[in-house]
Amino acid sequence: MSESSGARAVLEGPDIHRALTRIAHEILERTKGADGVVLLGIPTRGATLAQRLGARIEQFEGVKIPVGSIDVTMYRDDLRLKPARPLGHTELPPDGVDGKTVVLVDDVLFSGRTVRAALDALNDLGRPTAVQLATLVDRGHRELPIRADYVGKNLPTAKSEKVKVYLEEIDGRDAVELIK
């Protein structure tokens, strides 16, 4: 979308790259290295971001960190309010999540309801030692007491605005747009 159609770019490719690099470093600092850390992305874009974070951590530490995805579709509290949607893909690393520090990864944190659904789904998959949250954009307007441990960009928004994340692997470009 262009500026004239109500969309404004708030992050471009290099900004996203820097934010993910910073988040990867922050994860390593807080977890004291990559040992015992598992990244689980919330499809669609959160799973791609988790892959990117895993690659950066491997670059920094020389250790391949387990990366997977966690589908939250059946755990959402709005299933009856919206049209049916296809199930996403849950893919756990071979060693699972028991006794691990799981970092949930999503593209945009808004109400907190998707993260709550991810926590419920994770509860059915195992018992991690700790769960943390990384998000590329935190736009505020929380409806639940959930906060991100790692944030690429805090972006104050009006409730009526939308935040759209584009990733190269899915959309052919990296950008975050604010749509009025």
pLDDT of residue 149: 98
Q: Is 1's pLDDT higher than 50?
A: no
Nearest to 130 by CA among 48, 61, 40, 24: 40
11-70 confidence digits (pLDDT tens): 999 999 999 999 999 999 999 999 999 999 999 999 999 999 999 999 999 999 999 999
How does strand 101-109 pair with strand 37-41? parallel
Domain that holds residue 122: 3-179
**Residue among 26, 87, 37 nearest 67 (CA):** 37
Domains of the chain: total: 1
Cα 113 off chain centre by: 13
Neighbours of 45 (CB within 10 A): 21
Q: E strand or H helix at 130, and its extent? A: strand 130-138
> Which CATH number goes with the domain that contains 104?
3.40.50.2020
- Tell which residue, 90, 97, 105, has the closest CA to residue 56: 105
Q: Measured between alpha carbons, how far is 7 from 115 in angstroms, rounded to an integer? A: 26
Q: Could you report the per-residue pLDDT of 60-96, keeping only the tens digit for each?
A: 999 999 999 999 999 988 776 666 666 778 999 999 9
